Amino acid sequence: MSIDLPLEKMTLADKLEAMELLWADISKHRNALPSPAWHKDVLNERRRLVAAGKLRFLDWDTAIAELREEVRGDSAT
C-alpha cells in the first residue's frame, strides 16, 4: 500500500495530529513490535533520575497538551 500525504502543505500541528492517530492505532497492537533491549536501559536510567529528583514524568495527556502549546506558541515558558 502506498500512502501519499501532502506533507509540504500540512502544518506542523497537522503532522503531529497525524502522528498521534498513527501511534494510537499502532499501540492497540503492543505485542506486534517488540521493544529493542536498549529501551529497558533508557527506562531504568529515567527511573533512577526520577528517584534522585532530577527528572519528572508527565502523564500522556499533560505531555501532549504541553507539546501542543509549544507548537502553537501558546506556552508561557
**Based on the structure, what is the number of domains in the chain?**
1
The pLDDT profile of the chain, 77 residues, written as one tens digit per residue, is: 898 999 999 999 899 999 999 999 988 987 888 889 999 999 999 999 999 999 988 899 999 899 888 888 765 54
Q: Residue 63: inside a domain, yes or no?
A: yes
Rounded distance, CA 56 to CA 47, Å? 9
CB contact at 8 A, 68 and 61: no
CA separation for the pair 42, 45 (Å, rounded): 5
Residue 73 lies in a domain: yes
Q: Is residue 65 part of a domain?
A: yes
- The pLDDT assigned to 27 comes to 87
Return the pLDDT at 74: 61
- pTM for this entry: 0.47
The answer to whether 5 and 18 have CB atoms below 8 angstroms apart is: yes
The answer to whether residue 66 is domain-embedded is yes
For residue 73, give the amino acid letter.
G
- Identify whether 60 is part of a domain: yes
